[in-house]
Amino acid sequence: MSRTRPSSLLPLRTAIVLAAIVLGAQLTSVLEAQTTRAQDGDVVFVRPTRRAPEARPAPPPELPSRADEVEPLTFEVVIRRASRTGAGVPERQRVSRTRDRIHLATARTEWLFERNPVDPRRVSALLVHHPSRSIVVHEESDLRNTVGINGWAAVLMLGVDVTDFGTLTPTTESRTHGGLQFRKHSAASEGPGLSEVWWNPNHLLPLTLVIRDAAGVTNVTVQDLKRGVDAAALRSPSTRFPEYKQVDLAEWLEGH
């Protein structure tokens, strides 16, 4: 691919990414390894397929003009998936977001994403994996090659790519949540891909996203939105969990 789009992050590989889905669920499943059950019931580790060397990747996309002006926010992301077989169990993730750090907490893991201070387009991350009492270091290439997170913008905007707005039509509908106003953008038809988003351009934040694919519909909603963040959540995991071991991604996978 000439450019890694965040759309590769959604379960079932739908047409748009939501970093929120991947950060809380899919990234953890990648790190906990791909498994298959043998006939005797044992779990067999299947290592990721190694690819031939590729050309040097293009730099991440430029940041939106207001990326340095977003104010600290705390909110919950709720992901609901409906398919022909029925509705799945909602996934919930608590997010603390600032202009240069984003903390995301799920039941078993915490993620701390950090914007590169030298090149603000780039991002790295630390995973706190509580079951194994580990802190796993993810460099930029780890995030890009493992699940397709290509730069800080994808994380900051919960995976929304501003170029996708070219396929949507702004409406006159708006709603307010947590003191912020969001405007509805809709697709002309109910085909696959991003069909609806409520968006605040000043805070680069979606309130609601609706994504359709051949198998069903994914709804992502921001709830309990508040200004400000808990500074403790944005501290380095090594200071918060000094008893945890810190390893890089390759070393962690070797041990699992």
Q: Which CATH architecture has domain 6-49+71-254?
A: Clam (2.50)
3-class state of residue 244 by DSSP: coil
Q: Where are the beta strands (DSSP E) in the chain?
A: 34-37, 43-46, 73-83, 86-87, 91-97, 101-105, 109-115, 123-129, 134-138, 169-177, 180-186, 193-200, 205-213, 216-227, 245-248
Please name which of 46, 7, 49 lies closest in space to residue 26, comparing C-alpha atoms. 7
Please name which of 32, 252, 64 lies closest in space to residue 155, comparing C-alpha atoms. 64
pLDDT in the model for residue 23 = 42
Q: What is residue 132's DSSP assignment? A: G
Q: Is the pTM of this model over 0.75?
A: yes
pLDDT in the model for residue 16 = 28
Q: In angstroms, how far is CA 166 from the centroid of its own chain?
A: 22
Tens place of pLDDT per residue across the chain (256 aa): 333 333 333 332 222 234 434 444 444 444 444 333 333 433 333 344 555 556 677 788 899 989 999 999 999 999 888 887 878 788 888 999 999 999 999 888 899 999 999 999 999 999 999 999 999 999 999 888 877 788 999 889 888 877 777 788 999 999 999 999 999 999 888 777 788 999 999 999 999 988 888 888 889 999 999 999 999 999 999 999 999 999 998 888 877 6
Domain ranges of the chain: 6-49+71-254
Decide: 223 and 113 in contact? Cβ < 8 Å: no
Decide: 9 and 148 in contact? Cβ < 8 Å: yes
